Amino acid sequence: MGRDTIADVITSIRNADMNRKGMVQIECTNITENILKMLLREGFLENVRKHQDNNKYFFVVTLRHRRNRKGMYPSILNLKRISSPGLRIYSNYQRIPRILGGMGIVILSTSQGIMTDREARLEGIGGEILCYIW
């Protein structure tokens, strides 16, 4: 039985955010790298670095924090896995859902690679809905 690497990434980030951790280590795969780059570009993450330890590569992800008078606290990320290995969810570009009226993003796996809902609508292509982030 294979592992669901996308669910592992989402769960690791969600758990680190809930436990007020600043950093989290995530196993390195191509799809993981694409998803983390997208989250970094959209402003959900502060920094992503690639490290090697005993011939194993992993990402060190720094979560974005907000400041208030009492100090720093993590911003609350909401991540939800939609398509799973047992139940794939596909959508054409006209039916891609909007999360919070466009405030959140939908990550899709398309024939052109992994992209956000806005990019997929501009390109006019649909695909498998991987997750929602808001």
Distances from the Cα of 52 to the Cαs of 2, 4, 16, 37, 90, in angstroms?
23, 22, 21, 18, 35
Identify whether residues 96 and 47 lie together within a single domain. Answer: no
* pLDDT for residue 18 is more than 90: no
Find out whether 53 and 28 touch, Cβ atoms under 8 Å: no
The pairing of beta strand 65-68 with beta strand 71-74:
antiparallel
> According to the model, what pLDDT value does residue 19 have?
86
Residue 73 belongs to some domain of the structure: no
Torsion of CA 15, 18, 20, 22, to 10 degrees: 40
Question: For all residues of the chain together, what is the average pLDDT?
Answer: 91
Identify whether residues 54 and 90 lie together within a single domain. Answer: no
The mean pLDDT of 27-47, rounded to a whole number, is 94
Instruction: Please state, for a pLDDT cut of 90, what percent of the chain lies above it.
Output: 80
The total number of structural domains that make up the chain: 2
Find out whether 64 and 16 touch, Cβ atoms under 8 Å: no
Q: In 3D, which of 68, 60, 132, 65 has the Cα closest to residue 96?
A: 132
**Of the residues 68, 97, 119, the one at which a domain ends:** 68
Q: Look up the CATH number of the domain holding residue 34.
A: 3.30.1370.30
The mean pLDDT of 35-62, rounded to a whole number, is 95
Q: Which domain holds residue 50?
A: 1-68
The pairing of beta strand 79-81 with beta strand 113-116:
unpaired
